[in-house]
Amino acid sequence: MRFQQTRSIDVYQIETAAQLARVAELVNAAATNGTYGNAYYELMNDIDLSAYGAGFNGGKGWVPIGSTYWYPVKGNFDGNGKTISGLYIHNEESDHIGLFGCISNGTVKNLGVVDADVTGWRMVGGLTGRLTGGTATAQNSYVTGKVRGQGDTGV
């Protein structure tokens, strides 16, 4: 993950699946959530998450970025017109399931999630499980694939 200062804002540029997984770790950690949960991210390449599939995380797959209501994404993620493929999550006991688990007053834009296979309990989506707060948005983004949940299931 490269750090750049562009247009007077700090931007973390993500180039690989491993860097995106590291973002999830940092955002989901209580000690670093304020710093990384509120940051600006820009995707620089198409990303294949198949390495984080059925053989990862005890068979549950990808760990959502902002995996709980308590540690959401509050910053901005610009997909830069790129795609993330091979998203796999099978965690039927949990909520806030998606590439992003919970976005609170943050933004995801210009991103495609393709060939998703996502299963959760509630608040499940391919892009995000939950958008909350007055300014939380998903713009110019799409998902293809399968999304399943017991309630509050969307894109």
pLDDT tens, residue by residue, 53-105: 999 999 999 999 998 888 899 999 999 999 999 999 999 888 899 999 999 99
Q: How far is CA 22 from CA 45, 64, 88, in A?
A: 16, 11, 17
Structural domain count of the chain: 1
Q: Mean pLDDT score of the chain, rounded to an integer?
A: 90
Distance CA(29)–CA(37), nearest Å, equals: 9
Res 155 pLDDT > 90: no
Quote the pLDDT of residue 43: 97
Quote the pLDDT of residue 26: 93
Q: Which domain holds residue 120?
A: 2-153
Using an 8 Å Cβ cutoff, are 143 and 113 in contact?
A: yes
